[in-house]
Amino acid sequence: MLLTTKELFQKCYGRYAIPAVNVFFMEEIHGLFAAAQKAKAPFIVQTTPFARDYAHPDMLLSMIGAAARIYPETVFAIHMDHGYEAHLFDAIEKGGYTSVMIDASHDPFDQNVARTRAVVEKAHAKNISVEAELGVLAGVEDDLTVDAAHSFYTNPQEVEDFVNATGCDSLAIAVGTSHGAYKFSGGQGLRLNILKEIQQRLPGFPLVLHGGSNVSSEVVQRINNAGGNLKTDAKGVQEDEILRAIPLGICKINIATDTRLLWTMVNREFFRDKPDEFAPTSPGKIFMEEYQQFMLKKFELFGCVGKAEDFK
């Protein structure tokens, strides 16, 4: 069942969070939908402009459409992650997405409002939900790099004005996470005090956490043991931080790095252990299974196992 993110957030607010997972290729889509059907968990499948340029927008949406038929019990939204106008207007025009994100967070406040408002008008005319962002995350997001000096937390004093002026349906905030494998390099974790202040100013309004990967040190270690060279001080969002963020209005948690690390681990280990093999389907099968197990754990942690029933 294809829903908007607005519909998903109306049910989950304050109770559980919905994982929003970035997909690039077929095996991820199978793993995601299979896990969600098994767990009866709602989810958000999302694509960045980078993913659309890589695979082609039609390819991604066709695979997601096929997955919806192969796993008919699933409850989900299709979201454009970190969009900018060229991709967003194309996606809104051609259809397929039930939710889009306009990321104008790098612009000054007024410009962010104006760009977001323009997307909201076009998207709402087609019943598409809009996520906007206020505050800038550090890290690497596909082809965009933001260093820590140019990142900043969301200012809680601005959030009401921003939401009222834009008409957005959910708000991505910067409360200490960053994109990519190297989060929290300064050792700080999630700024729950800032999140709490934001929620008090926007009671009931869905908030979005970007940079939600856990960056398992076990996975990083296994990658390095199989020939990888990742920094071992990599650390992501901890389980207890997730649990404390959900009652504070975090409805959507974005995950990309964790599944990319998983792909790297499976493939490095496979080709290390089976140097005579060259069939992509062999590590592909292992990856789909590992992906499913990974997602089942996320659904469990985020509290959304069985919650697909909320929407039937």
Q: Is 101 in the site for Na ion (CB under 5 A)?
A: yes
99 Cβ neighbours under 8 A, 6+ residues apart: 4, 5, 6, 44, 77, 78, 79, 80, 128, 129, 130, 131, 169
Residue corresponding to tokens 């959507």: 252
Is 213 annotated as ligand-binding?
yes
Residue 237 has φ and ψ, to the nearest 5°, of -75, 130
Taking alpha carbons only, the member of 148, 131, 96, 282 closest to residue 205 is 131
Site stretch for ligand G3H (CB under 6 A), options 112-120, 195-203, 228-236, 256-264: 256-264
Q: Is 22 in the site for ligand G3H (CB under 6 A)?
A: yes
Is 123 annotated as ligand-binding?
no
- Between 101 and 250, CB nearer to Na ion: 101
Closest separation in Å from C-beta 267 to ligand G3H: 17
Residue corresponding to tokens 């999140």: 195
Residues assigned a catalytic role: 81
Q: Is 255 in the site for ligand 13P (CB under 6 A)?
A: yes
Enter the tokens of residue 312: 């039937």
Angle CA(154)–CA(300)–CA(79) in degrees, nearest 5? Answer: 50
User: Which of Na ion, Zn ion, ligand G3H, none lies near 180, with the C-beta cut-off 5 to 8 A by kind?
Assistant: ligand G3H
Closest separation in Å from C-beta 144 to ligand 13P: 11
Site stretch for ligand G3H (CB under 6 A), options 201-209, 231-239, 252-260, 300-308: 252-260
Distance of CA 24 to the CA centre of its chain: 13
Distances (CA, A) of 168 to 103, 106, 217: 12, 17, 36
Give the Cα separation of 206 and 255 in Å (integer).
Answer: 17
Enter the tokens of residue 287: 């990856």
- Between 64 and 202, CB nearer to ligand G3H: 64
Q: Is 28 in the site for ligand G3H (CB under 6 A)?
A: no
Residue 268 has φ and ψ, to the nearest 5°, of -60, -45
How many of the chain's residues bind ligand G3H (CB under 6 A)?
12
User: Which of ligand G3H, Zn ion, Na ion, none lies near 142, with the C-beta cut-off 5 to 8 A by kind?
Assistant: ligand G3H
**Residue of the chain from 37, 99, 254, 292 that contacts ligand 13P (CB under 6 A):** 254
Write the binding mask 79 to 98 for Na ion: x where contact by CB under 5 A, - elsewhere.
Answer: --x-----------------
The helix (run of H) or strand (run of E) holding residue 25 is none
List contacts with ligand G3H (CB under 6 A).
Answer: 22, 48, 81-82, 140-142, 179-180, 256-257, 260
